[in-house]
Every structure is written in C-alpha cells, then in structure tokens.
Structure 1
Amino acid sequence: MKDRVAIVTGGANGLGAAVAKGLAGRGARVLVNYAHSRDEAEETVEACRLLGADALAVQGDVGEDADCRRMVAAAAERWGRVDVLVNNAGTTRIVAHADLEGLGSDDFLSIYRTNVVGAFQMIRACTPLMKQGGYGAIVNVSSIAAIAAIGSSIAYAASKAALNNMTVSLARALGPEIRVNAVCPGFIATRRFSDALGEAGMRELIETVEGMTPLRRAGTPEDIATAILFLADEGAQHITGTSLVTDAGQILNPSPSVVSAKD
C-alpha cells in the first residue's frame, strides 16, 4: 500500500480507526472522515502519523453528495490521487424484527441514506480519480445481517443487503480499473456495546457470541480490518464483486443473535 491514497469514511473510532491505522502502517496516506467525532478523528490521524503516514481528518456527512465530493477534492488537493475507498460509515436503529410498528418510513430513509446512498455517492465521487490513476480498490463494510436477515432492525438488514447488491453492480460497471468488494462482519466488540452494557454486560455478551461461533471468537475491529486491508491491496487483484463473510462462523449458527450487526 506504499504511497497509495485511501479514504476511510466513519474513520474516527472503532472499525474505521482500525482500518485507517492498518492502511497507515502499510505505507498509505489516509483521509479519515468523521461526521461528529472530531477529537477522536484527530486522535486517529495522530496515530497514523506516528506510524509514518501522512494523514488528514475531514468532516463530512456521506448522505450529502456535496460533502462526498468535498472529501475527495481534499484528498486530491493534498496528494493528487485517490486509490482506495473504504465505505465504513453506517447507521441503524435498534428495533425488534417482529415489531413492525416500531419502524417508520423515516427510519428506512435515514438508514438507507447513509448505508446505501452514502456509499454510492462516495464511490461516484472517487471514480474519476481512480480511473485516471489506473488503480482503484473499493471495500464496502456490510454485515452478515445482509445475508441472514438478522441484526439491529429489518431496515438495517435490508440496507446491507442492498449494499451487497450494489457491490456486484458496481464491480461490473467499474472494471477493469476499479475493483469493488464488500466485507460482512458478524459481531464486533466495540466501545458502543461496552458503553451501553458496562464491563460485566460486555463480558457476558462476548461469552455468548463466542459460544455461538465454531471458532469460539468474538470479532475485534482489527479482525475485520485485516480482511478489508486484504481486499484493498494488490494481492487481491483477482477479486471483485464479492462479499466476504468475516464472522468466525457465526452465520453458521441456526439461530444467530440479533447483536450480529456491526452497527
């Protein structure tokens, strides 16, 4: 990844931060996008710089096309190119799947705006520079919710299924210069869960997830970042249009838990 230029949306913390630091450690220059968490984004940028990489934090809402184009322009102005895009920004609303009255049209529109439209707008903004540079690797962060129809809500699962479908469509449309793939994580042990559940609750949740997976593992941001970095690298030059499940086998459980989604 040396001297490649990468944009990571939702890169301030959690999985996005792990990806940004992983790219930086491999020699890439990294634009860390954030919507609200400026301080955390700057901390991630500083961590990238300590790894020897040039890095930049840029605020922006991927649901706004103008923000997407501004982010790409900032990367081009600083480094003259864009080679890698990791569409990690995502949102959800936690609603039991059987609670049909718990979701409204506004929920669907809000979730799709970030998880699907936002990813599309970022890809569209990056495409001219990637084609011009002759190398493009796009990785969309999806979820096993897209495949198993589980997760935090029906709207979330449906949005990730749409993202997987879009991954295939754009892999066809943007080749041969640009590869488009997705990763589908299961549960990831992030601060979101520990903040909500506390230390004891988080430990219990991890034990539950470990018991559900053939590998007896609960995913970490670094686990998923490894898969993303593989798909972004030239070593995956023969792979496009795939959705790679990265869940320690959680999806093989006949009754997957609703906590399997990334968000």
Structure 2
Amino acid sequence: MDLKGAVALVTGGNGGLGQRICHALAREGAHVAVMYARSRDQAESVASELTSRYQINARAFACDITDGAAVDRLVGEVTRAFGHLDVLVNDAAYNVSIPFGDLDNLTLEAWDKIMAINLTGPMRLTKAVAPVMKAQGRGRIINIASVAGLSPTGSSIAYAVSKAGLIHLTRCMAVALAPETRVNCVAPGLLDGTRATANLRAEQIERSASGSLLKRPADKDDCADMVVAMCRTETMTGQTVVIDSGRIFH
C-alpha cells in the first residue's frame, strides 16, 4: 500500500511509541487520526505537530475502547472526517505491575481491565473497521503486542496473557479478513521512554538491556518503521515481528 494520501487511525497515538508511529506514518504522507483516552491536550499537540511538519491532515479523537458504542462512533467519525480509513494501528494498552508469584494481588478487577483494553479493545476496533476496509478493497491492521506475549515475562501475568491473545488475534483476523485486509503484529521488547518504563530506574533498564544480544533496549523508531513496512507490504499477513535487540528467538 502506498501511504501517501492514506488515512491511519492510531490508538494510543499520544503515548511514547504511539507518537513515533504517528510521525512515521505522516512522514510517508498518510493522514493521521490520533486517538486518545485521556490527555486531550497532548493528543491535540501531536496532531498539530504532524500537520505543520508533514503538511498532512491530522486530528485528535477521544475514545474509550472498552465501550463498543464508543468504538463504533470513533470509526464513523474518522471515516467521515477523512473520507476513508486505510490503516488501523492498535497501540493503546494498559498495564499494572504485579509480580508473577503474587497471585493474591492478581485480582479479577485488574485482570478484567487489562484484558478489556489490551485484547477486547483491539478486537472491537478490528470488527468496526473491517467492513470499511472490505468495501474499499484494501486495508492494513497492525497490532502492537509485546515479547511478554511470547514468553512468560513482563510486569504481570494478565499483561503477558493479554499480549499472547493479541498475537493470536492477529493470526485469526488475518484469516477472517483476507484477502482485502492484511493483519500483522509488532512485538517489542523493553522500550525506553514509554509509560511502561516510566517507573523504572536507569539501572533497571540497563540490566534488562544487558541480557540482549545487542546490549541495548529496543528502539521505538525501529518499531514505528516496522509498522510502516507492514503497511507497504502486499504479501505479508498473520505475522508477528519481534523487535527486542535479540532477547528471545521467535
């Protein structure tokens, strides 16, 4: 897909990785819908910067992706505002730190919230954009998972399971939406400068990075560039690409 003139909806577009994805898509000439759940000012600032820097159209849209009616409204609003919708990037996520051995604090409330945002939310969004992309005869859906979905790691069991589910949702939706829509997934390792690492000390990040072949955290720009590559490709679907500086082999 040629991204020049395409329209991309990026959930969590005001976050650390989400912003990089928005910039990478806009740099290729795509118009961008920056979706946020909170931090309206930040999302509008991102949209304004995209518009001025890349001479494309960008707007901020609020949505609670745990609300099915709100998701349907969002897709309708974006489609009406831009005229079409070609790319969905499911980057919005939620996490809370609960050590794997601390099952007492792995409450159903925490589990349900993580699943609702990290797994059910992308499923709702995918279902909502599917008929739009089918009618257009083309579409790209890219899910942002995590290496925690491929190995029992991460800040909580619920987070790891939600990302494992998102990886398999990618495969299943690739089957369901072929041949018009390609569905792929990026699974980053530890990314410095994101909400997920905001509470980690520098030495914790360095210690984690030292366990990788490249001795460094994963790079947000590499992840954003992979999203662009997944949009461009014509014969890739149902796949998950790991970007983690060589910590796990998938």
Q: Taking structure 2 as the reference length, what is the TM-score of the superposition?
A: 0.94
Tell me the matched-pair count. 246
Distance 1:94 1:80 in 2: 41
Percent identity at matched positions?
37
- Match for residue 55 of structure 2? 52
Work out which of the residue numbers 184, 189, 211 in structure 1 matches 2:187.
184
User: Are 1:223 and 2:190 counterparts?
Assistant: no
Distance 1:195 1:179 in 2: 33
Contact kept? 1:13, 1:44, Cα under 8 Å = no
Contact kept? 1:189, 1:219, Cα under 8 Å = yes
Distance 1:115 1:246 in 2: 19
User: Are 1:33 and 2:35 counterparts?
Assistant: yes
Give the 3 Å change call, closer, same or farther, for CA 195–109 of structure 1 in structure 2. closer
Q: Taking structure 1 as the reference length, what is the TM-score of the superposition?
A: 0.90
Distance 1:13 1:109 in 2: 22
Distance 1:165 1:191 in 2: 24
Contact kept? 2:35, 2:43, Cα under 8 Å = yes
Q: 1:223: Cα distance to partner?
A: 2.0
Q: 1:68: Cα distance to partner?
A: 1.1
Contact kept? 2:95, 2:196, Cα under 8 Å = no
Q: 1:67: Cα distance to partner?
A: 1.6
User: Are 1:8 and 2:10 counterparts?
Assistant: yes
Mean alpha-carbon deviation: is it higher for 138-147 or for 209-218? 209-218
What is the CA RMSD across the aligned residues, in angstroms? 1.3
Give the 3 Å change call, closer, same or farther, for CA 52–205 of structure 1 in structure 2. farther
For 1:139, what is the secondary structure of its paired residue? strand
Flag the structure with higher helix content: 1
Unaligned runs of 5+ in 1: 253-263
Unaligned runs of 5+ in 2: none
Distance 2:218 2:49 in 1: 22
User: Are 1:241 and 2:238 counterparts?
Assistant: yes
